[in-house]
Structure 1
Amino acid sequence: MPSFPLAPGSTIGILGGGQLGRMLALAAARLGFDVAILERDADSPAGRSATQLIVGAYDDEAALARLAELTDVVTYEFENVPAASVEWLASKGVDVAPGARALAVAQDRINEKTFLNGRGVATVAFAAADNPVSAVEAVERIGAPALMKTRREGYDGKGQKWVEHAADAARIFQELGGVPVIVEAPADFVRELSVIAARGRDGEIAVYPLGENHHEHGILRRTLAPANASQSLADQAEKIARQVLDGLGYVGVIGIELFELKDGRLLVNEIAPRVHNTGHWTQDGCEVDQFEQHIRAVAGWPLGPTAARSRVEMLNLLGEEAHGWRKLASEPDTRIHLYGKREAKPGRKMGHVNRVRPLGS
């Protein structure tokens, strides 16, 4: 097992080669670390930014063994990495952060909400269903309209449909693939918020200011941060973050998506055990951004400051919008972050920009 804190020159392994892995690799390089990426695609955004690239499936034991051989600690860039792969690495003495429990909780929406409620964190009412009959019963119990989601996978609005009448539940269950689902009550919220937080190996916790999020067609479009929020709301978010992080024995950065209700309470929508799209504003709005913070945490370094030094509007660049880089580069208060993806597909996240303004503006 490695000795923490890791010294510069150590190698950090990352499962996943997308844009989050790329930005983690760049942050690690700034701190003097080498990075080894395990990714299925030989031409991935993170793979081209890393010291070493291992091409293989995430559950390929030979590829995992090579990653274990090269690295001092392993992390991951997205939550759909097989939990069994993390457990396999751990069984070989590899330190993986965040650990397998965080993945197991986040990968199954029933496990996730059950965990949250068990930690005293409020969510919408929910029920499980694994066949058409129980799907109807779940909607009848929760009440229509209700949101039906696959229990596993699904992102950016995929794998979910609204059920307007209980009689439609069996059909919609089949339309979602006939796989186990969660049925959720609607949230009467006034806006969607998120909190990005980190927990170090010594239990130290650092929480960033709240972000206000706006989605289009199920995909995050922009985040405004710091959000205009009362101290009471900020305190609620920090308490939630601490309950989640301590409950998981977590190491690293986590994204927690929140609903703000009309009465000022916060409900947790979902958690993501990784750096998060709604935290990209920290790259130009904070002294230490979420990517460096994650590397600090998994390497056993002290966590960095999280106070905002600027107000930021983060805007995702989807598909061919990234081709407008020349115009964006001419805007003096705009910082461009492109992911190096080869093909611009409709709705695909190709990059983001952070429009920086003075605090209080």
Structure 2
Amino acid sequence: MSAQAVLVLEDGRVFRGTSFGAEGSTLGEAVFCTGMTGYQETLTDPSYHRQIVVATAPQIGNTGWNDEDNESVGPDGSPADSKIWVAGYAVRNPSRRSSNWRASGTLDAELVQQDVVGIAGIDTRAVVRHLRTRGSMAAGIFSGADLADDDTLIGRVRTQPSMLGADLAGEVSTTGSGYVVEPDGDPRFTVVAVDLGIKTNTPRMFAQRGIRVHVVPAGTTIDQVRELKPDGVFLSNGPGDPATADPTVRLTEEVLGDGVPLFGICFGNQILGRALGLGTYKMKFGHRGMNIPVIEHGTGRVAITSQNHGFALEGEAGEEFDTPFGRAVVSHTCANDGTVEGVRLLNDSAFSVQYHPEAAAGPHDAEYLFDRFFGLLDSKKGAQ
């Protein structure tokens, strides 16, 4: 029989269930993800660092765990050192067995092996309704010997640091000089990817297009970037508050000043936006899922996108504004709530989106953005 477990929220709400994965305790920000598939990609996404993820899909674990779908690698780029980044996992009904030809084990066993504390058997619909009403908040999961009375556990939850003001990119980034992902076939271009929490599929998407990728740490300087003589620079996704990322914003400003083509995703969108003069804010409960519609205002095109962010850029749909690098525009917004989902310089030297065109589990509506960046690199090379 599974041990008792509780999910405790900072406002005093307590949900009781059974232990799932490792027993013990964990703290983090409670958020919910509406994806119906791709739980392995979610759990290994570095952007979920220090977050307790509540799955809205009622049954989790059906396809087990495999050695191919992890979205994280080790500090030196080794897939063997991939890890689960979520702080904890809350589900309704974990599958009793896994069934998939690629499965190397079960989800529950992987959570135990990586010491990730979870909870099962709770009403996740009630949790999500609560978080949608009150907003994402500090939380904890406690089970086994770490259980205590509610007041004690609520006190522990309330003492943890806030996600607002959290500087986390350095905790998930590669170290040292980073690593290189070689392209499929002869290299056409070289891109420096600043690792703020990069997902495994991103360098793979570049490699498929003949691009050699130098994945470098979050603290990389402009001189280190220039030494690599890149044709372009990429800013990855990642966790934490973009208001804390001043060094990366300064790096971005210097890249833009050099006229090097730049592409950003998620956290990278917020960094480019800050470099262009926009502010950021913490959203009430964020966007986390695989079914979020985004409008590209220049074309009227709507893409169904995968997203994972709790912070966003300030701005309005189609808004144009001056920057030190030329005129810019808010290029994309969310069809659901108007949140800024992309910015670009009108001279097309830099652009970014808040969502995930590299989403391995889908949807794949936005993959064309990698082709757009390739075209930008090609046109820049042709003009030289």
Does TM-score exceed 0.5, indicating one fold?
Answer: no
Q: Which has the higher helix share?
A: 1
TM-score by length of 1: 0.33
